[in-house]
Structure 1
Amino acid sequence: MYYLVLFITLLSFLPIFFILKKIRSTTRLPPGSLGIPIIGQSLSFLRAMKANTAGKWCEDRVKKYGPISKLTLFGTPTVFIHGQAANKFVFTNDTLNSQQPKSFRTLFGKRNLLELSGKDHKHVRGALMAFLKPEVLKQYVGKMDGEVRKHFEMHWQGKETVTVLPLMKTLTFNILWSLLFNLEHGARRKKFAMLFEQMVQGLWSIPINLPFTRFNRSIQATSRIQNIIMDVIQEKRSRKQEAYPHKDLIATLVSLRGDDNTILLSDQEIVDNVRTVMVAGHETSAGLLTLCIRHLANDPVVYAAILKEQQEIATSKTSEEPLTWDDLAKMKYTWRAALEILRIVPPIFGAFRRTLKDTEFGGYLIPKGWQVFWAANMTHMNDSIFSEPSKFDPSRFENQASIPPYCYVAFGAGPRICPGYEFTRIEILVTMHYLVTQYTWKLCCKDDNLSRDPMVIPTQGLPIQIEQKNRL
């Protein structure tokens, strides 16, 4: 009887125990407000992105709530964190999954590299690196050289003014179409390009799928893009790929086999990751090239240094001779200048991870299923990490080992460093070579302010007045 009374008494205290536990858990949440359900702070954040004041938006949160705070972004409870320790936590912690906002997941699929973690992430990353590793990409420098020359001949030669951003998007899209699909320009490429623009516009949008919304248009475009990529995959699978396993990205992924000769990636995995590589290689590279042109128009010292480096390479070759891998290795200052632009104005402002279980950071609880949001500029513009952070100084990257780990995160860091780093480097250096050796330019708009949607862009697309030095 005694034990029965004791048991009943203990049971009566269980509800109180769980209530107290819930209260303690709630008080351990970071400070801040989740705001209106689903919407939360999404609208104010998107406005700040549009006005290119998202850095200040984050700084204001830090001043109000401290280095860790909770909010709601894109329909999901979110914890914003920043700093070197936060970056390391984001890029290395196994309790976090790279789950992007619902808008991103819907458009790119569940098996894209940015969504995966653990063994799945290693599996897909390893497949992509079969094409994106330097020893493979060096084979394609000449092909990229040809695309860049063709671009300047078609879109720049003989012109007095051009608008940079749409042209850089055209260039990077054509490079990706050539190297990822290995298909000729034509009606299919033109249709894909139009759909691709519609898809990208919905990446960071409130995930409400109603007619005539940006998100709805992006979903429709994504579905049609998937059909095109599936058709290309079937074309590649119907051919013998063994003779040229590195002909293009899709052919490479289609030809990959496991130890037991089974297909390494499903068709859906290939579709999801081709879309991801397309966005990563198109939007960010086009944005970086546009920012390079914008900066050099206002910085004659850096322009002169890049021009000197590139002219030395140009004079060592005939005008018909394409650039080589060895030529790119000589473009050290040009690449340091590009890295510095990425430090000051990273094309991707920040990214999201999601907790796989209740997780602690900085003494606070981040509940299972919540998003973790980080922003690159919070360490890039920290004067305790980079002295005079607002000053443009490519010499910061002469010795990259001197930069503290997890502080420069333009390409991610640690096991999450961007697999397309070398692809981007080749793309930027080849383009900058022909740009500075063949053209001079100056800005011809009063408003060269930047916006984010979600990638950084000049509000007017950066119109410039150009003068050709000599014929390509």
Structure 2
Amino acid sequence: MEFSLVVALIAVASSCVFVHFLARGATKKRRSPAAKKLPPGSLGLPVIGQSLGLLRAMRSNSGERWVRRRIDRYGAVSKLSLFGKPTVLVAGAAANRFVFFSGALALQQPRSVQRILGDRSILDLVGADHRRVRGALSEFLRPEMLRMYVGKIDGEARRHVAGCWSGRAAVTVMPLMKRLTFDIIASLLFGLGPGAAARDALAGDFERVMGGMWAVPVDLPFTAFRRSLRAAARARRLLAGITRERKAALERGAATRSSDLIACLLSLTDDRGGAPLLSEEEIVDTAMVALVAGHDTSSILMTFMVRHLANDPDTLAAMVQEHEEIARSKRDGEALTWEDLTRMKLTWRVAQETLRIVPPIFGNFRRALEDIELDGYVIPKGWQVFWVASVTHMDAAIFHDPDKFLPSRFDSQSSSPATAKAAPPCSYVAFGGGPRICPGIEFARIETLVMMHHLVRKFRWKLCCKEDTFARDPMPTPLHGLPIEIEPRISP
């Protein structure tokens, strides 16, 4: 596998050999004797750099140790080469703050992601265009809008539990959670309810899209990337058709701004003459990003909550009690409401602690738009900047006993040592931070709380695999998708 990866990297990035050396040469030319120096470290071999070492570490769930060894050797700021590009690794809360708030850095996505999600996606826009598209997406994701959708999410969760969990002795958690989050997104974002043919078609294409999202971007027959590109093209055509249908429905009064994400985006206009705020291409690209982003984070979070609770009976018992109290206050079959979610405080603390220990995103890249300085070093224009969530999440100076699962550390009323000292800003970065902080935090919270409400009340479970491990490829995936044995729970 590693040999084929090397070949593919060389095939798609051979020109980066020249970029690699030009970056060194150009940097030397720009620097005067008084200029700041480059960070310590090595760019390694052309094109390959340290990419294989990082990928191996992530797949063996030792990525945190890999990063920590670099920090121990070179410090909090060091240079290396990842995926054919000169890169600077930055570490710590101050470095996170620099990455999240610097106007001289733009988000840097792998070429495979850019090709699949579109050129006008929010992930690649900068400046005014980014603020405009993000503002449009945030309009749909405002709490005032989302509180209207709690009942619909509850309905999807009930159907999912009844159809995929009830009456079974064993299930595999991760694929089920991925299907649940897809169904919720298809319903709320695109108006595709249960049984819709377009929903099933989009589900099949979406699985192929995700299969090549992080693949080496070699556009050749029989590659995962080619299959992903073709599936993405079909998904985009489907979403473009939904966009035109929703536009017509809005014009004749058959849909409203709150019908779904597409209707919301179509309804937004600028401040100058009421022209549409987003083009059709931007709406489709935004919908593609929302589909991908909303799918992985929530499904991974819920999967790893199930994984942890299987070995933590005390926390699980406390969660069951929290949800039974909510259930007793409602009539049989009555849907959950926004007010019910506000009472699920322990459950969300468990979710936050799960995200601290197993953040869905290992790290991310930015691109330097100009020469910038950090801690006395220069980061040349065009270089990547790489930050990693686990650096602060697992720092004992920030989080007491970081290897322990302690949801109480997120309880502001707790008197435990875990919360005796508040974590500094930009140290808990499960959702990123700054202007590009994940706009779907509240959406993920609703999905998670609703699903866990039904899961902990209806079932007991235990892990089927004694080896409780996971790998990153690049998202965290538990061994065999986390198979568990389940049995009905008799409510008190």
SS in 2 for 1:205: coil
1:209 is matched with 219
Give the letter for the 2:211 counterpart: Q
The structure-2 alpha-carbon separation of the partners of 1:21 and 1:281, relative to structure 1 and needing over 3 Å to count, comes to: closer
The structure-2 alpha-carbon separation of the partners of 1:21 and 1:274, relative to structure 1 and needing over 3 Å to count, comes to: closer
**Of 185, 193, 198, the match for 1:188:** 198
Structure 2, unaligned stretches of length 5 or more?
1-25, 413-418
Measure, in 1, the Cα distance between the counterparts of 2:38 and 2:422: 36
1:216-227 alignment, distance < 5 Å: 216-227=226-237
**Over residues 133-171 of structure 1, what are the superposed CA-to-partner deviations in whole Å (9 max), with x where a residue is unaligned?**
000000000000000000011001110000000000110
1:331 is matched with 344
**Of 343, 347, 371, the match for 2:360:** 347
2:265 is matched with 253
1:100 is matched with 109
Measure, in 2, the Cα distance between the counterparts of 1:18 and 1:64: 23
Mapped pair 1:310 → 2:357: no
Give the letter for the 1:460 counterpart: H
**Over residues 83-105 of structure 1, what are the superposed CA-to-partner deviations in whole Å (9 max), with x where a residue is unaligned?**
01110011100000112122222
**Of 130, 153, 157, the match for 1:121:** 130
The structure-2 alpha-carbon separation of the partners of 1:25 and 1:294, relative to structure 1 and needing over 3 Å to count, comes to: farther
Shift of 1:37: 3.0
**Over residues 350-376 of structure 1, what are the superposed CA-to-partner deviations in whole Å (9 max), with x where a residue is unaligned?**
111111111111211111111111000
Measure, in 2, the Cα distance between the counterparts of 1:224 and 1:27: 49
1:5 is matched with none
TM-score normalised by L of structure 1: 0.92
Measure, in 2, the Cα distance between the counterparts of 1:413 and 1:177: 27
Shift of 1:26: 9.9
Mapped pair 1:89 → 2:109: no
Measure, in 2, the Cα distance between the counterparts of 1:318 and 1:121: 45
1:451 is matched with 471
Measure, in 2, the Cα distance between the counterparts of 1:438 and 1:308: 12
Give the letter for the 1:412 counterpart: G
Shift of 1:63: 2.2
More off after superposition, 414-423 vs 104-113: 104-113
The structure-2 alpha-carbon separation of the partners of 1:316 and 1:224, relative to structure 1 and needing over 3 Å to count, comes to: same
SS in 2 for 1:365: strand
Structure 1, unaligned stretches of length 5 or more?
1-16
Asked if the contact 2:27–2:380 (Cα under 8 Å) also holds between the matched residues in 1, the reply is no
- Kindly, what percent of the aligned residue pairs are identical? 53
Give the letter for the 1:224 counterpart: R
SS in 1 for 2:123: helix
2:4 is matched with none
1:246-325 alignment, distance < 5 Å: 246-259=258-271, 260-325=273-338
SS in 2 for 1:235: helix
SS in 2 for 1:466: strand
**Of 430, 443, 453, the match for 1:410:** 430
SS in 2 for 1:343: helix
Measure, in 2, the Cα distance between the counterparts of 1:179 and 1:20: 53
Measure, in 2, the Cα distance between the counterparts of 1:280 and 1:311: 31
Measure, in 2, the Cα distance between the counterparts of 1:26 and 1:444: 58
Asked if the contact 1:160–1:465 (Cα under 8 Å) also holds between the matched residues in 2, the reply is yes
Measure, in 2, the Cα distance between the counterparts of 1:154 and 1:137: 25
Give the letter for the 2:55 counterpart: L
Measure, in 2, the Cα distance between the counterparts of 1:329 and 1:78: 42
1:369 is matched with 382
Asked if the contact 1:245–1:251 (Cα under 8 Å) also holds between the matched residues in 2, the reply is yes
More off after superposition, 328-337 vs 50-59: 50-59
Measure, in 1, the Cα distance between the counterparts of 2:35 and 2:61: 33
The structure-2 alpha-carbon separation of the partners of 1:277 and 1:24, relative to structure 1 and needing over 3 Å to count, comes to: farther
Question: How many residues are paired up?
Answer: 455
**Over residues 90-126 of structure 1, what are the superposed CA-to-partner deviations in whole Å (9 max), with x where a residue is unaligned?**
1100000112122222222232222223322221111
The structure-2 alpha-carbon separation of the partners of 1:201 and 1:72, relative to structure 1 and needing over 3 Å to count, comes to: farther
The structure-2 alpha-carbon separation of the partners of 1:25 and 1:445, relative to structure 1 and needing over 3 Å to count, comes to: farther
**Of 16, 36, 44, the match for 2:45:** 36
CA RMSD in angstroms, aligned pairs only: 2.1
Asked if the contact 2:250–2:263 (Cα under 8 Å) also holds between the matched residues in 1, the reply is no
Give the letter for the 2:332 counterpart: S
Measure, in 1, the Cα distance between the counterparts of 2:229 and 2:393: 34
2:373 is matched with 360
The structure-2 alpha-carbon separation of the partners of 1:152 and 1:22, relative to structure 1 and needing over 3 Å to count, comes to: same
Measure, in 2, the Cα distance between the counterparts of 1:102 and 1:439: 42
SS in 2 for 1:360: strand
SS in 1 for 2:291: helix
TM-score normalised by L of structure 2: 0.88
Asked if the contact 1:51–1:452 (Cα under 8 Å) also holds between the matched residues in 2, the reply is yes
**Over residues 390-439 of structure 1, what are the superposed CA-to-partner deviations in whole Å (9 max), with x where a residue is unaligned?**
11111111129932110000011232221101100000000000001111
Give the letter for the 1:135 counterpart: E
**Of 173, 182, 195, the match for 1:164:** 173
